[in-house]
Structure 1
Amino acid sequence: MSVFALGLNHTTAPVDLRGRLAFAPEQMGPALQALRSRLQLNVPEAALVSTCNRTELYVAAGAAQAQVLVRPVVDWLAEQGGISGGQLLDHSYVMEDRAAARHAFRVASGLDSMVLGEPQILGQMKQAVRMADAAGTLGTTLHQLFQRSFAVAKEVRTSTEIGAHSISMAAAAVRLAAQLFEDLSQIKILFVGAGEMIELAATHFAARSPKSIALANRTLERGERLATRFGGEAMRLSDMPNRLHEFDAVISCTASTLPIIGLGAVERALKARRRRPIFMVDLAVPRDIEPEVAGLGDVYLYTVDDLSALVQTASEKRQAAVEQAEAIIDAGVQSFAHWLDQRGAVPLIQALRQQADDWGAAELVRARKLLARGEPVEQVLEAMARGLTGKMLHGTMAELNAADGDERQHLADTVSRLFLRQGPRGGDPRPGR
């Protein structure tokens, strides 16, 4: 078996391109099934990881099949974003076998994240595995790859300081807001969405005791549950444009495929605020806030990519732990590669077992006939033992007799390892010695 990973992330592709190739959780299963249908080959294993910082496809298939699958997978993924395969390759990476495993382990451990050591990616990868399993595209090889990546990530987190003092996107947003506003306890904050990222952001901002918190969500009930937790107010998403002027800070992260905060709504809000500034953070991929909003003079708009410089400054303090984490990952890659190599011998092992079963069945039929004719049991058992021994050794003996020179010596050494592990009663197991 062979594994390859095709992906793009925050280091290879801008946020707008990542947005075009992002998949919401409910889209992952149908997407994987569509990919499998497109390939029209023996069904390969496939899993899709999609976050605000990356979209990656992991595919496992027979070694020869995997080689011819790369380009069709590239073209399929490119179509999802309405771009050409060549454009996608300009902003993506393809990794195979050991390199693919190393990449998966680094991603799960937070070493490939915009926030070094951030823990959210591990939960997102586990969700990707559940989605692939539900879609019927998670086979033995990818199951092993991801389970091993989770085990490596756990060891990295417990054995190193890679996750210590991790500054998440939410914490970075708080830092930026603190640079704009003298006192965060005097500002009104609006959170748009009710997912995990908004929950994290609200947790960080709530720790600064802002003047008020409001949460706008498409489903009011879900929004109310989260708003209540932080002592805030919930509103319908449809009411947000008319109330945008009330808030000094807006943090948005929804699963919408189109912007939900437009240029016109922000312009009206600024007019109502008499040009008092608005701090805005768009954590969504695709974007929740129209990019043109950044051009307004009194708006301070940041995307996930804009936060990277602040995040990386903090991550430099943990570089000493990276080497230790990489050593753990190296060991994990070595173990997975060994398992993958063993998987390559599975068809041969199955064929050997089937051959042995066939020999045994043939000798059993012969023995039963002899017993039915009244032959003594002892003689029948001896005949069956000789028959099995002859069948098992016939091919090996024929090859030894036909081989010459170095080939014969190499074959003799192999036969000795396979059949004479204890040695032939103190003698040299090789013929003629």
Structure 2
Amino acid sequence: MQLFALGINHHTAPLDVREQVAFQPDSLPQALNALVRDRQLREAAILSTCNRTELYCSAAQAGDVALTADWLARYHALPVEKLRPYLYSLPQPDAVRHMFRVASGLDSMVLGEPQILGQMKQAARTAEEAGTLGTLLGKLFQRSFAVAKEVRSTTAIGANIVSMAAAAVHLSERIFEDIAGQQVLFIGAGEMIELCVAHFAGCQPKRITIANRTTERAAQLVRRFDADAMRLDEVPLRLAEYDIIVSCTASPLPVIGLGTAERALKARRHRPMVMVDLAVPRDIEREIGELADVFLYTLDDLGKIVEGGLESRQAAVVEAEGIIDSRVANFLHWMEAREAVPTIRALRDTAERTRRHELDHAQKLLARGDDPQKVLEALSHGLTNKLLHPPTHALNQAEGEERRQLAQALSRIYRLHSGD
């Protein structure tokens, strides 16, 4: 049996492509059953988040990977040629390592983020409820969760801020202790804003609004994060509604000027505002930072926080990768040992039949009145002869190199030591 993973994520595909292969939660059970049925897989689970769609499968042979890619494209009514450049497929050892890394937050858009672990647990529950999670994938998920717990408890993978987006949240929390009660406005819709929205969304703010010059890009983020949309020219009129403003556009001129900020503060009765300017050149006029109730942070401010966390986080990554390498080896060893289970079971069944046969014969002799001592001797000789007959017969029949290898195997199995 072969494990493999097939997927698309934020490393390999832009958001508009990822959206096209995302699975809705209520459609996952039907999709899992269709995947197992159509591709004749043994087991399957699907992890579908805003940043990745991955299929974890157990198949009779490795060749099922290409067919599974075709299934994914067809399920979403996409030409496979359009999807294939963004897909990655991972054979058994790499699939195991990948799942361990995903669960531990090492493959996330935000290094070390904890949300992905909960999403993986939900993927496992969904597959189990759909009846597509068997012994092998079930064990792999459980090992993934255990590895993630070990990584988080023994390394500093999640303890330090290493992204501008995380730093923006951190600085906002200095002013507003609870982000959940705040209204957040994001100006722009590029990659940096996407990262920031993802971070702030994890704090569950009261409202998220996306303002952008073009509505198409903003609409993608609005759908993904259940946010509101705003035209860029509305920002000066509605700025007072928001407690936190994060801006990153390509505008050559400031998007928020001093006068706009002053009017917003007056309307807010001087309740504090956090402004985070991630643009170069600046989106927010420098003078706004001098206002008493505005806490303005720039790229340089965020950069100092990130710089402080990078060194320790990278050291933690090295530790985490070492843990994962060790646990991958352990899991692959378990899989190899599992392949011997049918042979072990057959060997025990044969030995049990031999034991019962000899025991039945001995009981008949005792019932007849034979000497118990002689019956026991016959029983032990009979068991010994019948259990040793197959290996000795095979050794006698073998020749040359085959006999030498068989002799070595028997010596190892029975722990034999040749005399001098």
TM-score between both structures, scaled by the size of structure 1: 0.67
1:135 corresponds to which residue?
A: 130
Q: Following superposition of structure 1 onto structure 2, how do residues 33-432 of structure 1 map, counting pairs within 5 Å?
A: 33-39=33-39, 41=40, 44-61=42-59, 65-166=60-161, 171=166, 174=169, 189=184, 201=200, 204=203, 213-214=206-207, 266=230, 270=233, 316-317=310-311, 318-420=313-415, 423=417, 427-428=418-419
Q: Secondary structure at the match of 1:49?
A: strand
Contact 2:366 2:372 in 1 (8 A): yes
Q: How much has 1:75 moved relative to structure 2?
A: 1.4
Distance across 1 between alignment mates of 2:369 and 2:157 = 76
Q: Secondary structure at the match of 2:61?
A: helix
Distance across 2 between alignment mates of 1:334 and 1:355 = 32
Is 2:11 the counterpart of 1:11? Answer: yes
Distance across 2 between alignment mates of 1:134 and 1:106 = 25
Distance across 1 between alignment mates of 2:386 and 2:158 = 60
Distance across 2 between alignment mates of 1:31 and 1:114 = 26
Contact 1:115 1:166 in 2 (8 A): no
2:270 corresponds to which residue?
A: none
Report the residue type matching 2:38 in the other structure.
R
Report the CA distance shift for 1:393/1:204 in structure 2 as closer, same or farther (over 3 A): closer
Contact 2:157 2:316 in 1 (8 A): yes
Distance across 1 between alignment mates of 2:133 and 2:184 = 42
Distance across 1 between alignment mates of 2:96 and 2:411 = 36
CA RMSD of aligned residues (A): 4.2
Distance across 1 between alignment mates of 2:407 and 2:203 = 70
Report the CA distance shift for 1:298/1:125 in structure 2 as closer, same or farther (over 3 A): same
Report the CA distance shift for 1:177/1:85 in structure 2 as closer, same or farther (over 3 A): farther
Percent identity between matched residues is 47
Deviations 1:244-274 (A, max 9, x none): xxxxx99966679xx996xxx755x956976
Distance across 2 between alignment mates of 1:169 and 1:37 = 45
* Greater displacement, 81-90 / 326-335: 81-90
Report the residue type matching 2:120 in the other structure.
M
Report the residue type matching 2:375 in the other structure.
V
Distance across 2 between alignment mates of 1:81 and 1:169 = 34
Contact 2:4 2:62 in 1 (8 A): no
Q: How much has 1:202 moved relative to structure 2?
A: 5.9
Q: How much has 1:46 moved relative to structure 2?
A: 1.1
Distance across 2 between alignment mates of 1:80 and 1:105 = 27
TM-score between both structures, scaled by the size of structure 2: 0.69
Contact 1:277 1:298 in 2 (8 A): no
Distance across 2 between alignment mates of 1:333 and 1:203 = 30
Q: How much has 1:336 moved relative to structure 2?
A: 0.7
Q: How much has 1:165 moved relative to structure 2?
A: 2.3
Distance across 2 between alignment mates of 1:205 and 1:56 = 26
Distance across 2 between alignment mates of 1:83 and 1:250 = 22
Distance across 1 between alignment mates of 2:310 and 2:351 = 59
Distance across 2 between alignment mates of 1:53 and 1:118 = 13
Deviations 1:94-141 (A, max 9, x none): 111211111111111111111111111111111111111111111121
Contact 1:105 1:329 in 2 (8 A): yes
Report the residue type matching 2:200 in the other structure.
A
1:30 corresponds to which residue?
A: 30
Contact 1:118 1:166 in 2 (8 A): no
Distance across 1 between alignment mates of 2:34 and 2:386 = 49
Contact 1:129 1:138 in 2 (8 A): yes
Report the residue type matching 1:326 in the other structure.
E
* Greater displacement, 325-334 / 350-359: 350-359
Report the CA distance shift for 1:374/1:112 in structure 2 as closer, same or farther (over 3 A): same
1:287 corresponds to which residue?
A: none
Question: Unpaired runs of 5+ in structure 2?
Answer: 174-178, 187-195, 210-217, 245-250, 257-277, 279-301
Contact 1:115 1:169 in 2 (8 A): no
Q: Would you say how many aligned residue pairs link Structure 1 and Structure 2?
A: 342
Deviations 1:177-214 (A, max 9, x none): 99xxxxx9xx95489xxxxx9997367586xxxxxx45
Report the residue type matching 1:57 in the other structure.
L
Q: How much has 1:364 moved relative to structure 2?
A: 2.7
Contact 1:118 1:163 in 2 (8 A): yes
2:291 corresponds to which residue?
A: none
Question: Unpaired runs of 5+ in structure 1?
Answer: 179-183, 192-196, 207-212, 217-248, 282-293, 303-309
